[in-house]
Amino acid sequence: MILECVAMNYDEALAYIKKAGSLGIKPGLETMERLLSAMGDPHRGLNAIHIAGTNGKGSVGAFIEAGLMHRGYGVGRYLSPAIFDERDIITYNGTPISREEFAAAVTEVKNAAEKTGVQPTAFETETAAAFYLLKNKNSDYTVIETGMGGRLDATNTVEKILAVITPIALDHTAFLGDTIEKIAREKAGIIKGAAISSPQTDSVKEILSLRGAEFAGRAENIVYNADSTVFDYKGYRNIEIPLLGCNQTENAVLAIEALERICGFDTDDLRNTLLHCRFERLRNNVFADGAHNPQGAEALARNIRLYGKGRKTAFVTGVLRDKEYQKMAEITGPLAQKVYTVTPHSPRALSADILKDAYGRYTEAEAADSIEKALDKALEYEMTVIFGTFTIMKDVYKYLRG
């Protein structure tokens, strides 16, 4: 039940979250624990599948959600970041919660913060709101993604039935550590019982094994079609997934292992998976991808080679300044005839001019004033790939899909 309070409307709720964003990133669980206690402990009893890792969290979460929904369960999901609308981060059975529900939940968080005297960050506010909403939805299961790391991530307050670990690589080193082993220990912090992981490097596998994690195998007999991918895994034959890209079979296999442990699996469970900006075909030979770190760039490069088939290719890309953009340029730059760089709408944005210089070492590059101007030029090529931070994708979709 929603407590009696001065309720915010949707715009006021967004403004409250934006103001909380000025606190930046503050790893730790104390604020969340106090906040959730004041809200009646909505993080308990959610039957959560908790996902951590460097890349692939969104895809694995989407596959698990699709499998549970196909079996008739009510499924809540919390993910980040939002792409089109702030409400996209909290869904029930694939549908974003309403503006009224979102505002009511953020109001609950605000009241709890004032009652306890804590100052939650934007991510803590959204996480507490998500737990509150999904508890009130009486979800059979909830799929929860970490925001960053794991051990001290705000989501790690949730009670879980399974921890799921996607491939781990270097990212967010300022917060998580400067080696892959340090990062793996942080992400392994979500393991508090049963856990399944993607295949990992030897040092990461050793760390996760010590926490009791089991490991998924690899897909076999993979066939990449224009609109789907078909593969075999263990005793399952002709599993079809609608998500494109050579990395998606690994994500799907991890989801299969998770579903087996939760409710069972059959080969039709993943057919209706929906996820934007993961090598998504927006038009014929126009793709959008959320690659924003070297590991994501490696996967994107493989996909471009797989689906490009020698086509003259242009990129449109924009990233945040705390990312390894020079390494991304080294990986992807040689695959394009032209790269158009843009400055994302974010206080953490890397300028288009700096990114242009990085790509200029490998191919012809040009800084564009806007996504629209970049796309106007890039769409003249045989293949166009838009990638980088998710914050540029809203403008991309608006331009291409109206």
Give the tens place of pLDDT for each residue, 361-391: 999 999 999 999 999 999 999 999 999 998 8
4 pLDDT more than 70 = no
Mean pLDDT, residues 94-110 = 96
Share of the chain above pLDDT 70, in %: 96
**Average pLDDT along the chain:** 93
Do residues 142 and 75 lie in contact, with contact meaning Cβ atoms separated by under 8 Å?
Answer: yes
In this prediction, residue 3 carries a pLDDT of 44
Phi, psi (rounded to 5 degrees) for 94: 85, -5
Mean pLDDT, residues 105-123 = 95
276, two tokens:
């934007």
Residues 6+ apart with CB under 8 A from 65: 75, 77, 94, 143, 273
- Say if residue 120 is preceded by a cis peptide, omega within 30 of 0: no
Which ranges of 272-343 would DSSP assign to H, the alpha helix?
Answer: 294-308, 325-332
159 pLDDT more than 90 = yes
Which ranges of 117-243 would DSSP assign to H, the alpha helix?
Answer: 122-136, 173-176, 180-187, 202-210
Mean pLDDT, residues 247-258 = 97
> Domains plus CATH for the chain?
10-262 (3.40.1190.10), 280-401 (3.90.190.20)
Give the tens place of pLDDT for each residue, 345-365: 888 899 999 999 999 999 999
In this prediction, residue 402 carries a pLDDT of 62
Tokens 């760039």 identify what position? 297
Residue type, 198: S
Question: Distance (Å, rounded) from C-alpha 64 to C-alpha 70?
Answer: 10
Q: pTM value?
A: 0.90
Q: Under DSSP, is residue 66 helix (H, G, I), strand (E, B) or coil?
A: helix
In this prediction, residue 178 carries a pLDDT of 75
Give the tens place of pLDDT for each residue, 223-235: 999 899 999 999 9
Residues 6+ apart with CB under 8 A from 117: none
Give the tens place of pLDDT for each residue, 24-43: 777 789 999 999 999 999 99
Question: Distance (Å, rounded) from C-alpha 253 to C-alpha 233?
Answer: 7
Do residues 376 and 400 lie in contact, with contact meaning Cβ atoms separated by under 8 Å?
Answer: no
Residues 6+ apart with CB under 8 A from 143: 48, 49, 51, 61, 64, 65, 68, 75, 76, 77, 78, 79
